[in-house]
Structure 1
């Protein structure tokens, strides 16, 4: 490694963590904040239906597609260098997007934001691993990272709603400019440079294959949720799977692969990715139902809906911080299993919610759901990154983020499709809750709530099964089994 850190982190390292928390908060904010602005930008830019879908989806597509490449590039070119470059590009693209005068310009800006965003998360996580070599301190640091990500998700609807009440739609995309400027100033002073000195050149065919695998796969998964298994959706999934198989085959033949597949030989990493995949997938899928229930069924404004969700978000932040301490005392596996069991109970509560006057029960269930999600986010990231050799931290970080992205996309697709199937089984006159409610609000809300209950029940089963797997996970500080 370029930098040899002391076993115990000092004040400089903790200040560095504060700097790394900034892009984490920003990316989490950006996940939710643009959705609130859709009615406003639609009035201003007048995008077509397909253009609006690309405005919303292209950011996530680019992040998912470039995560593996950017994580490995950071190992080779330098993680701090990549982080600062990505921060500058993200800030510039956000500004351009905020002042876009056409749908095409906004789509282009969001595309660049996604590519730049893919540099931030792997660099952030791998730099945390470089700053904190002590396993217990590293666990706390990843807990802080997860708490900041959780805080961003919580603040997104509230901050976005307040901005939209006073400013134009592009203001929500300018939230990150002060954050990125501070990162560019403080990053070179507080963050070490770290890279893999033995890394070879980037294999461009592997980059192309990774994009050909991830982009069609994520596109197909998202389309599956909104349009069902049509020809274009199936074709995209087939192309993604085929390219993924070719990618894996090429990695096994290269002396210096883009993605080191031997990382999967480590049980802690495999188990952590599985738990992360299910935990993020279920919460992402049910989250969409909950936000729609609060706004359409319960009749709350976006700001009020965001405020109603703050108690759950507060629990998510606190548990993300507390989980590493519990893990150091009881072990990561038992803590994860217990948290996921509580989360499953939360999904069961959501599955009991009716149409009228039960927003309180919904939020109580969501608090329990986030009680399980907080430790899952904090501990699985630490397990995955901590299980990898230090020089491969960027690649392991990218795998962790890719697992989250795919889990979220697949959770939305599968649980959304399940809820939509239940919704369509009622006598509704539209494909969406808003459209159907315009014709017959009572039938529409009853159908939607039934779909949400089924999706929540399915999530409870998945999370309970995953809790059994999580019980066997070992702490990242534990020695790896022989041959791993």
Structure 2
């Protein structure tokens, strides 16, 4: 066998691949946690009776706090050790998940989800940066990142199925308890298989920068959510302005510091920026899709949680296979072709929803398969491009930026597309006669609220209410899907321009 060239990166062995398996556990957990929550929303709506805004914040609180803290936690992991931060985050995530399972009210569940975001921010950049340091060979690294991305999709498969079983036999709180058995093996095997890594020349922990980036995230998403739900208002404008000021101050601070928390000069690299833009938009529209498809299957189609979860398995499986195939295709075809093509396929899936007849749930399930094929290809390769643009010792910061794009996309998915569904529902819903003012107000908030009110009415009144509510919900879904298709099409063009000089990896 011909020995490798002296400057060739070392290839990973059995220990590195075993470490990858262990690192998949928190990735699976976070994906399962997001998917399970979507499927638990109908039960949460019926039991806790949250307002429409509280329902959105139950989904948003976790990814929003996580997105705001990913960059600070990535920098902290570079300083104190990425494995150490991973283990601390895993312990906290398991403990708070147990508390979330018994939340007594909508606001309490929102608060628990926000605290989960703090510990989740310790997990995600640590896993990706550890992978970057474990796998130096280009093809092996791309394969490992494909497996990492597959972990999210596998969680998308396991979440609805496992969650469906739990929700059919136990109350909604049981879905949060999944974190405990998933994280125990990580806490046992992590110190054995995963080597510690850190930046040999880390910068100081910068609390001011952490506060600025968190303020920018919170203000921006709150402004979007508020505007989408209630229209333009002075409060929303003030939140948007505060977010802009905080973001500007954060960038200026990073440019002045000798060792910044986030090297914003990385965004001058076209490939780096193209990969981030791709993942931000793809995550936004995909999470927005899940927000309304899970409710449609359960509240409109009347499927129990387990059958609704199984209906999404083909879409998640398509995402997994597409990501793995994309790694092989990228050896011969440049990412500048594969990534925009994936976005174009996702656009086709959203157009199916925007223009299709939603009275049959088959349209949504088929569209999810098409969207999954495009998402698997685009996000797997874009994630690799982001990490490949930086040196291994800076993997923590780059991983944090990459994960921020994913998680900010998750928050924006509900803030933009989810709010479009909710706003479209509120505008199109016409309460039938005979409802009390309280019943009409609850039914006008969300589809879940209307289903809950219908359970207290006689058959004729319930039928009228559900007909109006379902029609209003489908109006919102059509509008949301059209917005998603437009975002994807525009992003495909932009990413094609940014990546056009990136060669295939032979």
1:251 Cα deviation (Å)?
0.9
1:241 corresponding residue in structure 2: 244
What 5-or-longer segments of structure 1 have no aligned partner?
480-484
Worse-superposed segment, 47-56 or 197-206: 47-56
Following the alignment from structure 2 to structure 1, what is the Cα–Cα distance between the partners of residues 178 and 422?
Answer: 34
Deviation at 1:28, TM superposition (A): 0.6
**Match for 2:387 among 385, 388, 400?**
385
What secondary structure does 1:30 align onto? helix
TM-score (norm 1): 0.89
1:330 aligned counterpart, secondary structure: coil
Deviation at 1:112, TM superposition (A): 2.8
Flag the 1:309–1:144 CA change in 2: closer, same or farther, 3 A.
same
1:81 deviates by 1.1
Contact 1:19–1:186 under 8 Å retained in 2: yes
- Of 87, 90, 94, 1:87 maps to 90
Distance 2:254 2:140 in 1: 34
Native 8 Å contact 2:322 2:373 kept in 1: yes
Post-superposition Cα deviations, 1:432-481, rounded to whole Å, max 9, x if no partner, equal 334567553334333332332233233223322322333352698879xx
Q: Is 1:433–2:447 an aligned residue pair? A: yes
- Whether contact under 8 Å (1:129, 1:390) holds in the other structure is yes
Task: Say which is worse superposed, 340-349 or 245-254, in terms of deviation.
Answer: 340-349
Residue 376 of structure 1 aligns with which residue?
A: 378
Contact 1:64 1:215 in 2 (8 A): no
Deviation at 1:362, TM superposition (A): 2.4
**Is 1:444 aligned with 2:458?**
no
Q: 1:149 aligns with which of 138, 149, 152?
A: 152
Q: Secondary structure at the match of 2:332?
A: helix
Q: Which moved more, 1:223-232 or 1:362-371?
A: 223-232
Contact residue 383 and residue 476 of structure 1 kept, 8 A:
no
Q: Report the Cα offset of residue 130 of structure 1.
A: 0.3
Cα distance, 1:468–1:55 mapped onto 2, change above 3 Å: closer
CA distance 1:222–1:394, change in 2 (3 Å):
farther
Which residue, 10, 15, 30 being the options, matches 2:13? 10
Q: What's the counterpart of residue 435 of structure 2? A: none
Please give the alpha-carbon distance, in whole angstroms, between the structure 1 residues aligned to 2:419 and 2:51.
Answer: 24
Match in the other structure for 1:262: 265
Alpha-carbon distance change, 202 to 435 in structure 1, aligned in 2, over 3 angstroms: closer
Mapped pair 1:313 → 2:327: no
Matched, 1:211 2:225: no
Q: 2:487 aligns with which of 459, 462, 470?
A: 462
Which residue pairs with 2:189 in the alignment? 186
How big is each residue's C-alpha offset from its partner over 1:309-363, in whole Å with a ceiling of 9 and x where there is no partner?
111111011112221111122122211122222222222222232243x222222
Q: Partner of 1:482 in structure 2?
A: none
The offset of 1:152, in angstroms, is: 0.9
Task: Give the C-alpha shift of residue 283 in structure 1.
Answer: 1.8
Partner residue in 2 for 1:112: 115
In 1: Cα distance, 2:155 partner to 2:36 partner: 10
Following the alignment from structure 1 to structure 2, what is the Cα–Cα distance between the partners of residues 133 and 279?
Answer: 27
Matched-pair contact (CA < 8 Å) for 2:64–2:407: no
Is 2:129–2:396's contact at 8 Å kept on the other side of the alignment?
Answer: yes
Match of 1:415 among 405, 414, 417: 417
User: Is the counterpart of residue 62 in structure 1 residue 65 in structure 2?
Assistant: yes
- Superposed displacement of residue 8, structure 1: 0.7
Any conservation in 2 of the 1:62–1:111 contact (CA below 8 Å)?
Answer: yes
TM-score (norm 2): 0.86
Query: Which of the residues 28, 36, 45 maps onto 1:25?
Result: 28
Cα RMSD after superposing both structures? 2.8
Any idea what SS the aligned residue of 1:415 has? Answer: helix
Query: Please, which moves more after superposition, 137-146 or 285-294?
Result: 285-294
Matched residue SS, 1:201: coil
Greater CA drift, 116-125 or 315-324: 315-324
2: CA distance between counterparts of 1:123 and 1:148? 15
Task: Give the gaps of 5 or more residues in structure 2.
Answer: 1-6, 432-443, 455-463
Give distance in 1, aligned partners of 2:253 and 2:70: 18
Q: Number of residue pairs matched?
A: 475
- Work out which of the residue numbers 359, 362, 382 in structure 2 matches 1:360: 362
Q: Is the 8 Å Cα contact of residues 81 and 198 (structure 2) preserved in structure 1? A: yes
* Match in the other structure for 1:281: 284
Q: Answer whether contact 2:129 2:395 (CA < 8 A) is retained.
A: yes
Residue 194 of structure 1 and its aligned partner are, at CA, apart by: 1.3
2:420 and 2:49 map into 1 onto residues whose CA distance is 31
